[in-house]
Protein backbone atom coordinates (compact mmCIF):
# COMPACT_ATOMS: atom_id res chain seq x y z
CA UNK A 1 0.00 0.00 0.00
CA UNK A 2 1.10 3.54 -0.67
CA UNK A 3 2.06 5.54 2.38
CA UNK A 4 0.17 8.72 3.29
CA UNK A 5 -2.94 8.29 1.11
CA UNK A 6 -5.14 6.22 3.45
CA UNK A 7 -7.22 7.71 6.27
CA UNK A 8 -6.47 6.77 9.88
CA UNK A 9 -8.43 3.66 10.94
CA UNK A 10 -9.11 3.83 14.68
CA UNK A 11 -11.46 2.54 17.37
CA UNK A 12 -14.69 4.51 17.89
CA UNK A 13 -17.93 4.01 19.78
CA UNK A 14 -21.15 3.73 17.80
CA UNK A 15 -24.07 4.92 19.94
CA UNK A 16 -27.58 3.91 18.88
CA UNK A 17 -29.58 6.86 20.20
CA UNK A 18 -32.97 5.15 19.87
CA UNK A 19 -32.08 2.17 22.09
CA UNK A 20 -29.14 3.69 24.02
CA UNK A 21 -26.93 0.78 22.90
CA UNK A 22 -23.18 1.45 22.54
CA UNK A 23 -20.53 -0.72 20.92
CA UNK A 24 -16.90 -0.30 19.99
CA UNK A 25 -15.80 -0.81 16.41
CA UNK A 26 -13.30 0.72 14.03
CA UNK A 27 -13.88 3.53 11.56
CA UNK A 28 -12.12 6.11 9.43
CA UNK A 29 -14.48 8.86 10.63
CA UNK A 30 -13.01 11.19 13.22
CA UNK A 31 -15.81 12.83 15.23
CA UNK A 32 -15.05 15.61 17.73
CA UNK A 33 -17.32 14.26 20.51
CA UNK A 34 -15.89 11.65 22.91
CA UNK A 35 -17.32 9.27 25.51
CA UNK A 36 -15.79 7.27 28.36
CA UNK A 37 -16.62 3.54 28.17
CA UNK A 38 -16.70 0.85 30.88
CA UNK A 39 -13.07 -0.11 30.21
CA UNK A 40 -11.99 3.37 31.37
CA UNK A 41 -10.75 4.53 27.96
CA UNK A 42 -12.12 7.54 26.14
CA UNK A 43 -13.25 7.01 22.53
CA UNK A 44 -14.65 9.25 19.80
CA UNK A 45 -18.41 8.66 19.49
CA UNK A 46 -20.53 8.38 16.34
CA UNK A 47 -24.28 8.68 16.96
CA UNK A 48 -26.57 6.55 14.79
CA UNK A 49 -30.37 6.37 14.76
CA UNK A 50 -30.71 2.67 13.87
CA UNK A 51 -28.49 -0.32 14.60
CA UNK A 52 -29.09 -4.03 15.07
CA UNK A 53 -30.15 -3.26 18.66
CA UNK A 54 -33.13 -1.17 17.52
CA UNK A 55 -33.96 -2.32 13.98
CA UNK A 56 -37.26 -4.27 13.81
CA UNK A 57 -35.76 -6.96 11.58
CA UNK A 58 -33.18 -7.91 14.23
CA UNK A 59 -35.27 -7.28 17.36
CA UNK A 60 -38.54 -8.85 16.16
CA UNK A 61 -40.47 -5.82 17.42
CA UNK A 62 -42.77 -3.90 15.14
CA UNK A 63 -41.81 -0.26 15.54
CA UNK A 64 -43.45 2.28 13.29
CA UNK A 65 -41.58 5.55 12.96
CA UNK A 66 -43.29 8.12 10.78
CA UNK A 67 -40.84 10.94 10.20
CA UNK A 68 -42.29 14.20 8.91
CA UNK A 69 -45.63 12.65 7.89
CA UNK A 70 -44.27 10.84 4.83
CA UNK A 71 -47.10 8.29 4.82
CA UNK A 72 -49.75 11.01 4.94
CA UNK A 73 -48.03 12.93 2.14
CA UNK A 74 -47.97 9.80 -0.01
CA UNK A 75 -51.64 8.99 0.69
CA UNK A 76 -52.74 12.54 -0.07
CA UNK A 77 -50.76 12.64 -3.29
CA UNK A 78 -51.93 9.31 -4.68
CA UNK A 79 -55.41 8.79 -3.21
CA UNK A 80 -58.25 8.35 -5.68
CA UNK A 81 -60.37 11.36 -6.38
CA UNK A 82 -64.07 10.97 -5.55
Q: Which helix (H) or strand (E) covers residue 71, if one does?
A: helix 70-78
67 pLDDT higher than 70: no
User: According to the model, what pLDDT value does residue 48 have?
Assistant: 85
pTM summary value: 0.61
- pLDDT reading at 31 higher than 80: yes
- Is pLDDT above 60 for 23? yes
Q: How confident is the model at residue 42 (pLDDT cuts 50, 70, 90)?
A: very high
DSSP reduced 3-state for 11:
strand
Amino acid sequence: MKKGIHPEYKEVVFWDTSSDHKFISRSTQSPKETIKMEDGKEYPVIKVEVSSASHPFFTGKKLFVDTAGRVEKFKNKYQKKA
